[in-house]
Amino acid sequence: MRRLLLGVLVLLPLLAGCWDQQAIEQLGFVTQVLIDGKPGSLTVLYRVIVPNKLPSSTNPGSPDSTTLVSSAGRDLVEATRRADLQSSKRLFMGQVQAVLLSERFARAGGAAGALDYFVRGTKTRNISWVLVVPDDQVQAVMALVPTNAAYPAEAITDMNLSQRQQGEIPSIRIFQFINQIVTPGRDAAAPLIRAGKNSFVLSGVALFQQGRLVGTLSAADTEDLDLLLHRSQQPSLIVPCNGQGTVSAELMSPHRTLDAIVRQGQLVGLSLRLRAIMHIDQVTLCPMDFQSHQQEMVLATAGAGIVSHRIESVLARLQHYRSDPLGFGEVVRVTNPAIWQAIHSQWHDVYPKLPIHVEVHLTPNDSGLLNGSV
């Protein structure tokens, strides 16, 4: 009996709860983080939820549903600890929805170290989007309180999810970003974000090379990059017709194939093949007979030519910046390990000089309820 009582007394402390348990009232939930400065000297801005000002069934909510906390440190650990001293609550990073990197910080190579902090924590979930902020937009982006969401990070999340459906600018989550920068023969790309009048705007793409930002693409080039990165659902296409009309279509079920071209044991080029179904959405001022297979094939061939030209333009820009977000290097590494072993340390010098052969094949799909055009 005495032994049983002694055992119960020993176990009592273990029944009190988790050793690191904290009351929810003591936590400040961070939803958005912006990292500025340079590695070793960071300025960090945190957007922290104010729970009683969020909308609910009994509360319409308030525009100031979050508060902004600023801190500095040699790394994120130090900056966050200092931020804790400024807040009445301990900052909790497990609900961060948006990790924003200033352009100067990303160009200085700070992305990898900063994101290491977020994914190393045991409470981290794969809900965070990674975005890059132009230097002249840092204060404006963090100060913006959009009118179309309960709090700023929710607006950023909705915008990224919408982009994945529309296929315009490639969005990326934190674990996917890290996976790309640590995979040999592959680089990462993340969207650029700016502050609009009442909401955020995605304005282009930041290209990375081994975790360091090396260049940017405008919004005009990003839809084709999104298609090649397999992130868009149904990218769009407009094909001129008869000199005055147009045919708008969606590229359904796009399938991309990358290959290395090797001759006599030497890497002499790269190839990209894209196959998709061309689904007609709208015909404007274009007399078409969709019962004619020949006319359909003429339209599909014209569409393939446009897509091919657009892809070649994007690839030229990627090679100019020596960034390989499509993973051509990874293809070489997997299919030709001996060649990769010889060139991997110079890949970002070899890759820009290689010709890339592009082949696009579009298959016409059902034209819908009409066999012609209205």
Please report, for residues 80, 103, 295, 332, 342, the alpha-carbon distance to residue 259 in angstroms, rounded to integers and kept in the order given.
Answer: 45, 32, 32, 8, 18
> 289-317, pLDDT tens digit by residue?
767 778 888 889 999 999 999 899 999 99
> 147-166, pLDDT tens digit by residue?
888 889 999 999 988 887 76
**pLDDT of 37 higher than 90:** yes
pLDDT band at 19 (very low <50, low <70, confident <90, very high): very low
DSSP structural state of residue 183: S
> 233-277, pLDDT tens digit by residue?
567 788 888 777 898 888 888 899 999 999 999 999 999 999 999
Give the distance between the most distant pair of CA atoms in the chain: 98
208 contacts: CB under 8 Å, gap ≥ 6? 106, 111, 181, 187, 188, 189, 190, 214, 323, 325
pLDDT at 220: 76
d(CA 62, CA 71): 25
pLDDT at 8: 46
Please report, for residues 93, 274, 281, 362, the alpha-carbon distance to residue 308 in angstroms, rounded to integers and kept in the order given.
Answer: 43, 9, 20, 11
At 10 the three-state DSSP class reads: helix
pLDDT band at 279 (very low <50, low <70, confident <90, very high): confident
321 against 292, higher pLDDT: 321
- What count of other Cβ atoms lies within 10 Å of the Cβ of residue 314? 21
d(CA 92, CA 102): 22
In the chain the domains, ranked by start, together with CATH numbers, are 26-223 (no CATH), 234-364 (3.30.300.210)
> 178-196, pLDDT tens digit by residue?
999 999 999 999 999 999 9
For residues 191-216, give the mean pLDDT: 93
Which of 79, 200, 37, 184 is CA-nearest to residue 131? Answer: 200
**Taking a C-beta distance cutoff of 8 angstroms, is the pair 181, 188 a contact?**
yes
